[in-house]
Amino acid sequence: MSVVSLDTLQTLRATWRRDGVRVVLTNGVFDLLHSGHVRYLEQARMLGDLLVIGINSDASARAVKGSLRPLVSEENRAYLLAALRWVDYVTIFSESTAEALVETLQPEVYVKGGDYGRTEQNAQVVDSMRLPEARVAQAYGGQVVLLPYLSGHSTTALIGRIVARFGHMDEHE
């Protein structure tokens, strides 16, 4: 729907809270959009009335993923995500984690992929060391949901396939 600032989201959040809107929030780099992302976002949207995505700024993505990332600029990543029918709002954040974003918006549901969990006694639980945003959400009573991770559907795997197939190309091919 739209790419907005955190200030704008904070203003909207007051209205949503008053109207009883169930807000779902997720975050990530979303560097090369792929089917794993789309399935994940579709499932996330089903958990509430409205889906907000926080994406790492270019500088934040480099800090998290390394100096060669992101491949796609923050403006383009935000635009692509906002164009998906399940996504209501996208905002860009500059910190290395989305803790401040979660604290500011206090969504009813905070969602991440299953790769942020670990198995204990045959149940998947949040790995709060890898997901500090979960501690923030739980502190104000928010629900933390881990959605199934689709193995082989990652930006890292996609980059690996591209390099394997086209790494030998020169720029004129």
pLDDT computed for residue 111 by the predictor: 96
pLDDT computed for residue 167 by the predictor: 79
pLDDT computed for residue 166 by the predictor: 83
pLDDT computed for residue 130 by the predictor: 79
In the chain, alpha helices (H): 6-19, 35-45, 58-65, 74-82, 99-105, 132-139, 155-166
Pairing of strands 89-93, 50-56: parallel
Taking the CA atoms of residue 35, residue 99, residue 82 and residue 74 in that order, the dihedral angle to the nearest 10 degrees is: -90
pLDDT computed for residue 153 by the predictor: 60
Q: What is the mean pLDDT of each run of 10 residues along the chain (173 residues)?
A: 94 97 97 87 97 98 92 96 96 97 98 71 67 95 86 68 70 47
pLDDT computed for residue 172 by the predictor: 44
Residue 63, phi then psi, degrees to nearest 5: -65, -35
pLDDT computed for residue 168 by the predictor: 58
What are the residue boundaries of the structural domains of the chain, listed by start? 2-166
pLDDT computed for residue 89 by the predictor: 98
pLDDT computed for residue 124 by the predictor: 64
pLDDT computed for residue 1 by the predictor: 65
pLDDT computed for residue 162 by the predictor: 74
Who's near 172: CB < 8 A, 6+ residues apart? none
Q: Which CATH fold topology does 2-166 show?
A: Rossmann fold (3.40.50)
